[in-house]
Amino acid sequence: QQPVQSPQAVILREGEDAVINCSSSKALYSVHWYRQKHGEAPVFLMILLKGGEQKGHDKISASFNEKKQQSSLYLTASQLSYSGTYFCGTVTSYGKLTFGQGTILTVHP
């Protein structure tokens, strides 16, 4: 079952903040976040393994609400380099990472 991401697209000016949400209809073992720039391979951002866990990476952080089967990615003080498509991936059974449909983030100067 594919996780659902929202919003589908976000347009920001440099320095603005954004939140991308990911929800699943199934219980989750873990949540992964990747960013893909046009024509390139997806690149790992972070993985959240426990309910309530929050992780940070520079000005990008994420939370995982295991009970609600949801995760959110927080982008603070966005930079031009943050532009790309963000995918959440959920693991509901051993070994199978299923990605959402993606959220396109565009950061303008």
Partner 1 sequence: GAGVSQSPRYKVAKRGQDVALRCDPISGHVSLFWYQQALGQGPEFLTYFQNEAQLDKSGLPSDRFFAERPEGSVSTLKIQRTQQEDSAVYLCASSGYSGANVLTFGAGSRLTVL
Residues 61-100 that bind partner 1 (CB under 8 A): 87, 89, 91, 94-100
Cis, peptide link before residue 7, omega less than 30° from 0:
yes
38 makes contact with partner 1 (CB under 8 A): no
State the Cα–Cα distance between residues 103 and 20, nearest whole angstrom: 7
Nearer to partner 1, 100 or 107 (CB): 100
Nearer to partner 1, 30 or 61 (CB): 30
Q: What are the CB-based long-range contacts (under 8 Å, 24+) for 39-45?
A: 42/87, 45/73, 45/86
Q: Which residues would be at the binding site for partner 1 (CB under 8 A)?
A: 2, 30, 32, 34, 40-44, 47, 87, 89, 91, 94-102
